[in-house]
């Protein structure tokens, strides 16, 4: 039996809401999740219920609605947005499509037209379900500047994903010279990334598996070379091979990266489905992040791939989150609060924050972020499906 699609309606006109309810209720396997008069009222429910379809009124003065659509598509890329409008000019259709709307319905909404649009969503979902290869998601965590929380985010995401999803999760320390993932997890592995290669320099799957260390949370750690000088022996093509192998072995592969755009890190970014850029609320970090986003834009990365997360946020910050968004011209996906005593205590004790002080604001924030990640769309690079 086909899966049920959930729909939500946001429309100022009560009669239109009522008619849409009837139209949707008459369709097989469609469930009306909720209705709202406007986005201010509807947004909270939309974020929570993550409907498959959102049917949105597009008024003649469309600016604000188009902004909402952009935002929804960024946060909920799997929600198909239909707009309905009494005006149907080519410009308005183009603007709506550019913002991310999938269907433009004329008002009054014709039942057959709506049905066809819903069927398209169903067909697309079915195609993704049957054709998406079973391949792990690679998530790199990065910041051009050091000391802002990259390892904290990477380690705790790895641990939390492993525990929450029960999926096989790997945590890779790509900071080959200065890596400290093992210290954050109080591990002393016998082997490192160097041991994953055979004599001819290729990656040996059996060796790769055996040189990963299982942390008690379930996450498998691939650590940096014991001797930092050995890191010079690792090439970007070897990083490429390692990551391809890992994503066929694990559902999630989290990368802690160095603070440079060297060729190995860039190779890792290419293969990543998502790159989390960590920014903290100060001018120098915001500037560094702006440059980083410029590099990613030049590399042709789509917005869904690159996610900016504010770390160490506090009410007392002179630069608020909305100002950071404004300065970056880029949306902030997540905000992690500042809580130095708790974070440093976790680091010093070698117990991941999400286990050490799981009820602290900072741990809860990372746990909530973890729940969101399976919803993130994967980069086009991977969806297009280059050959393994």
Please report, for residues 91, 104, 120, 170, the alpha-carbon distance to residue 69 in angstroms, rounded to integers and kept in the order given.
Answer: 16, 13, 19, 34
d(CA 256, CA 141): 6
Min dist CB 125 to Mg ion, Å, is: 38
d(CA 368, CA 334): 10
Binding positions for ligand ATP, 237-296, rule CB under 6 A = 259
d(CA 9, CA 26): 15
Backbone angles phi, psi at 63, to 5 degrees: -45, -50
List Cβ neighbours of 153 (8 Å cut-off, separation of 6 or more): 141, 276, 278, 309, 311, 336, 366
Question: In terms of DSSP bridges, do strands 252-256 and 137-142 run parallel, antiparallel, or are they unpaired?
Answer: parallel
Cβ atoms within 10 Å, residue 377: 18
Residue among 65 and 152 whose Cβ is closer to ligand ATP: 152
Residue among 151 and 313 whose Cβ is closer to Mg ion: 151
Angle at CA of residue 130, ends 127 and 131, nearest 5°: 75
Residue among 82 and 269 whose Cβ is closer to ligand ATP: 269
Check residue 150 for interaction with ligand ATP (CB under 6 A): yes
Min dist CB 345 to ligand ATP, Å, is: 9
One character per residue 147-176, x = contact with Mg ion (rule: CB under 5 A)? ---xx-------------------------
Binding positions for ligand ATP, 335-374, rule CB under 6 A = 336, 338-340, 343-344, 347, 362
Backbone CA torsion sign across 184, 188, 189, 191: positive
User: In this chain, which of 59, 147, 202, 385 binds ligand ATP, going by CB under 6 A?
Assistant: 147
Binding positions for ligand ATP, 60-79, rule CB under 6 A = none
**How many residues are present in the chain?**
388
Binding positions for ligand ATP, 21-50, rule CB under 6 A = none
User: In this chain, which of 100, 136, 149, 225 binds ligand ATP, going by CB under 6 A?
Assistant: 149
Check residue 143 for interaction with ligand ATP (CB under 6 A): yes
Min dist CB 252 to ligand ATP, Å, is: 19
Residue among 56 and 148 whose Cβ is closer to Mg ion: 148
User: 274: which strand partners?
Assistant: 139
Residue among 76 and 347 whose Cβ is closer to ligand ATP: 347
Check residue 182 for interaction with Mg ion (CB under 5 A): no
Binding positions for ligand ATP, 298-337, rule CB under 6 A = 311-312, 336
Please report, for residues 72, 79, 268, 369, 379, the alpha-carbon distance to residue 383 in angstroms, rounded to integers and kept in the order given.
Answer: 21, 17, 17, 23, 6
Q: Which residue is nearest to Mg ion (CB)?
A: 151
Q: Which residue is nearest to ligand ATP (CB)?
A: 146
Tokens 């729940």 label which residue? 371
Residue among 148 and 246 whose Cβ is closer to ligand ATP: 148
Nearest to 219 by CA among 299, 287, 145, 139: 139
Min dist CB 351 to Mg ion, Å, is: 17
Binding positions for ligand ATP, 168-187, rule CB under 6 A = none
Check residue 146 for interaction with ligand ATP (CB under 6 A): yes
Min dist CB 97 to ligand ATP, Å, is: 39
List Cβ neighbours of 297 (8 Å cut-off, separation of 6 or more): none
Check residue 223 for interaction with Mg ion (CB under 5 A): no
Helix intervals (H) in the chain = 14-25, 39-49, 63-75, 90-99, 111-131, 150-165, 181-184, 205-210, 236-249, 263-271, 283-298, 321-328, 340-349, 353-356, 361-372, 380-383
- Return left, alpha or beta for 326; rule: phi > 0 is left, psi -120 to 50 is alpha, else beta: alpha
Min dist CB 343 to ligand ATP, Å, is: 4
Residue among 7 and 150 whose Cβ is closer to Mg ion: 150
Q: Which stretch binds ligand ATP (CB under 6 A): 10-18, 30-38, 146-154, 218-226?
A: 146-154
Binding positions for ligand ATP, 152-171, rule CB under 6 A = 152
User: Do residues 327 and 351 touch, judged by C-beta distance below 8 A?
Assistant: no
- Judged by the rule CB under 5 A, the positions of this chain that interact with Mg ion are 150-151
| Residue ranges in contact with ligand ATP by CB under 6 A | 143, 146-152, 259, 311-312, 336, 338-340, 343-344, 347, 362
């Amino acid at each position: 039996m086909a899966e049920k699609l959930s729909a939500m309606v946001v429309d100022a006109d009560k009669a239109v809401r009522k008619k849409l309810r009837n139209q949707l209720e008459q369709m097989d396997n469609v469930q009306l999740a909720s209705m709202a008069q406007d986005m201010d009222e509807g947004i909270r429910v939309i974020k929570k219920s993550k409907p498959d379809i959102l049917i949105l009124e597009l008024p003649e003065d469309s600016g604000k609605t188009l902004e909402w659509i952009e935002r929804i598509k960024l946060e909920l890329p799997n929600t198909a947005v239909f707009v309905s409008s009494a005006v149907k000019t080519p410009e308005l259709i183009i603007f709506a499509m550019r913002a991310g709307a999938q269907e433009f319905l004329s008002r009054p909404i014709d039942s057959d037209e709506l049905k066809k649009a819903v069927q398209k969503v169903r067909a697309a979902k079915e195609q993704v379900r049957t054709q998406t290869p079973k391949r792990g998601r690679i998530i790199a965590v990065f910041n051009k500047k050091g000391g802002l929380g990259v390892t904290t985010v990477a380690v705790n995401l790895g641990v939390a994903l492993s525990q929450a999803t029960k999926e096989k999760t790997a945590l890779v320390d790509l900071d080959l010279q200065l890596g400290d993932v093992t210290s954050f997890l109080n591990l002393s592995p016998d082997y490192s990334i160097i041991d994953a290669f055979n004599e001819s320099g290729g990656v040996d799957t059996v060796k790769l598996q055996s040189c990963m260390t299982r942390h008690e949370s379930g996450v498998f750690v691939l650590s940096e070379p014991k001797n930092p000088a050995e890191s010079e022996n690792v090439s970007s093509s070897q990083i490429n091979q390692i990551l391809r192998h890992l994503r066929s072995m694990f559902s999630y592969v989290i990368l802690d990266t160095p603070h440079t755009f060297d060729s190995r890190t860039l190779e890792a970014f290419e293969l990543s489905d998502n790159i989390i850029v960590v920014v903290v609320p100060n001018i120098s970090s915001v500037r560094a992040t702006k440059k980083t986003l410029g590099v990613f834009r030049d590399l042709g990365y789509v917005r869904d791939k690159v996610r900016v997360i504010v770390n160490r946020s506090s009410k007392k910050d002179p630069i608020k989150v909305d100002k950071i968004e404004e300065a970056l011209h880029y949306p902030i996906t997540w905000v992690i609060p500042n809580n130095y005593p708790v974070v440093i205590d976790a680091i010093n004790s070698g117990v991941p924050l999400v286990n050490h002080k799981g009820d602290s604001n900072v741990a809860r924030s990372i746990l909530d972020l973890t729940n969101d990640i399976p919803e993130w769309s994967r980069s086009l690079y991977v969806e297009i499906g280059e050959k393994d």
